[in-house]
Structures are given as C-alpha cells and as structure tokens.
Amino acid sequence: MSNLNRVPTLLTASFAVVISAISVMSTAQAKSVAEVIDAKDQVSILKSSNREFYDQAQENLTLRDGNDDYYVLYRIVERMARANRLDDRPWRVTVVPEYDINAFATNVNLLAFFNGLMDQIHGDPNALACVVGHEMAHHTEQHIALSAAQREMRLQELRQEAIDEVAAEEEDLSDDLQEMAAGEWIASGVGTIADRVVSTGGLGGLVGRVVSGQIRRDRQRRLEAAAERIQQIAAEKEAQFLAEETERSHSNEFEADEIGYQYMVRAGFDPQGCITVMEAISRIPGSQTAGITHPSTPDRIAALWSMSTTYPTASLRSEGDANIAANPNALTYGLSRDRMSLRIDSRSGSMDIDDLLPE
Ligand SMILES: [Zn+2]
C-alpha cells in the first residue's frame, strides 16, 4: 500500500488541530474549519500528476474562510526546496497569529511567518517567495540569532566581569564591591554603581564595623573610584559586544538576502518580489535606520538591486529547472509532530515501509 493516498487523510484529520491550536482563531472560526474538514470526502488520490496532487493540497490546506496561507506556503517551500536541492531535509512552516510584519527562522528547519506579513503581501507569491528564501538561507547558512533575552543576559555577564576585574585588583574592597553591584545595577544597568556607594551611606554596615574617621573616608574614596572604574570597564565591554553583535547580525542579514534571492529566482519566481517585500518593510517606522539585528532597509534594497547583475536571472532559472527535472515529483506534506506546523517532507520522506520491504 502506498502512503500517498494516506497523506491527504492524515492532514485533513489533523489540520483541524493545527488551526484550533492557533489561539487567535475565534471559536466560531475554529469550528467552521473542523466542520469543513469533517465534511470532506476522505478521498484517496494517487499522485498520478503533480497537478492533481496540488489540487488536493489546495483543498486540504485552505480554510473555510478562504484563507489559503498554508497552501501557498506549501507550494512555495516545496518548489524552492526542489529547485535548490534543499529537499534532502523536511521543512516546517507556521503562521504566527500576530499582526507583525516579520518572519523568522528557528528550531529545526522551521520557517515562521507573522500574520501581518502574510496580510501585507497577500496575493503576491513572488514577494512571499523572497521571504521564504531569506528564512531558508538563515537555516542553510546556520545563522544563529541571539534573542533579546539572550543579549540582555550577556550584558549582565559583562557587568559582572567588570566588577570581578576591579575586585581582583582591590582585594580588600572586593566584598564591598560585589555587594554594591548585587542589586539593580547588574540586572538592569540602570543608574550608576557609584550611586550605590553613596546610597548605601558608604556601606556603613560593612565598613563601619572595622574602620572609622580618616581611614573610613579614604576607603569611601577608594570605593567610589573603584565603582567608577567598574562603570567605565562595563561600558566599554557593552559597547564592544553590541558592535560585534550588530556587525555579525547585519552580515547574516545581507547574506540571507543574497542567498535567498538566488533560491527564489532558481525556483522560477520574479526577482521583483524581493523589492516589493523590502518596500513593504520600509514603510514600518524605524526601518530607515539600522538596528542591532537588521541593516537599514534602504541599504538592503540597494544590495538587492545589484543582484540581478551579479546573478543573471536566466542562468539561475536554468539551474533551477535542471534541479526540478532531476527531481520532478511534488514533495508530500503532513502535520508536524509539534502539532503546530505544516511539515513539507524531504524527497525521501514519503516512502512506505511496505513498499520498501514488500516481503
Ligand atoms: Zn533575517
């Protein structure tokens, strides 16, 4: 028995779960999706042609309200994978129910697209293909993006390192310095560590027990000076870290744009799609200037314009056509075991154990 006739059934049964799991859907909508799926014939369809297979996929993956995001994403990812020989691994696709104009690549081969992005480029598969290519490239190039929380954690470590460095030089002040920093300053970087020397009244508790008078005043001055040095060292470390992080992240973004561009053109999409996406992004406030994670949008657009010269469309297309010809069958799909994403199988991902071992 071939599993090909099982694919649509598997998906229709479980796609309702994907949809109801997506919390933004209203109960009414989720119910209507389930109804549609229940009402659907459990037709078995042999993959006699890709066209037939795609028609069935369209039926399975389109929601009752007409939302066909998952079908369109399936078609794009499936084509991009085969045209670029990236079909040796399964891909996973999810639409994040938040109105944000963004997408990201995360976990194992997962491509995530925000609702807002899907909405803003709705009906333009060339534009969506550009985003898909960009996110696929982050995976293939193994770009690792730090989350905001991870970046904050690194900054805290750097503040602690600054304290440790100064504390090692001023051994008799070490305990006081560690105690001063143990609070808000390490956690948030808000205020100055020198303020804490004053606000703790010269560390009366600790210092007051052992010293007094002139000695105490000297010690207070040394603590203040040490605190200032910590502040300065921490500021240098933070600035260096953020500069390195910005540089690394920007170069990853340019690289994902460049490789993603080639992926989408090889798959037969119109390069103009990349300009369309960037123009949609460039209308987001703040996109004109570079941030830590992303270069400025005008810089990305300028780089994209130069790509049609660097990578002639005709030669990319013929490479893609050759890859498709070598691997002509549509890739199958199913509900990922995370139950939250659509899995697009690798080219070897729809083998049936009974076909493989008939006896
Ligand atoms: Zn990116």
| Domain co-membership, 125 together with 95 | yes
Residue 1 falls within a domain, yes or no?
A: no
Whether the per-residue pLDDT at 5 is higher than 50: the answer is: no
Domain boundary among 248, 281, 299: 248
Number of domains present in the structure of the chain: 2
| Domain co-membership, 264 together with 242 | no
| Domain co-membership, 164 together with 215 | yes
Residues 197 and 231 sit within 8 Å (Cβ to Cβ): no
| Domain co-membership, 272 together with 131 | yes
CA separation for the pair 355, 278 (Å, rounded): 46
Query: What tens digit of pLDDT does each residue of 285-334 get?
Result: 777 778 888 899 899 999 999 998 999 999 999 999 999 999 999 999 99
Range(s) of the domain holding residue 311: 7-144+260-356
Query: What tens digit of pLDDT does each residue of 331-357 get?
Result: 999 988 888 889 999 988 766 777 778
- What spacing in Å lies between the alpha carbon of 153 and ligand 1's midpoint? 22
- What spacing in Å lies between the alpha carbon of 311 and ligand 1's midpoint? 20
Residue 331 falls within a domain, yes or no?
A: yes
| Domain co-membership, 228 together with 292 | no
| Domain co-membership, 114 together with 170 | no
| Domain co-membership, 118 together with 153 | no
CA distances to 170, 227, 352 from 204, in Å: 19, 16, 76
| Domain co-membership, 110 together with 22 | yes
| Domain co-membership, 122 together with 23 | yes
User: What pLDDT band is residue 11 in, cutting at 50, 70 and 90?
Assistant: very low
| Domain co-membership, 83 together with 199 | no
| Domain co-membership, 211 together with 157 | yes
Greatest distance between any 2 Cα atoms in the chain: 95
- What spacing in Å lies between the alpha carbon of 306 and ligand 1's midpoint? 19
Beta bridge partners of 344: 91, 333
- What spacing in Å lies between the alpha carbon of 17 and ligand 1's midpoint? 29
pTM greater than 0.95 = no
Residue 322 falls within a domain, yes or no?
A: yes
| Domain co-membership, 126 together with 181 | no
DSSP 182: T
- What spacing in Å lies between the alpha carbon of 123 and ligand 1's midpoint? 22
Residue 226 falls within a domain, yes or no?
A: yes
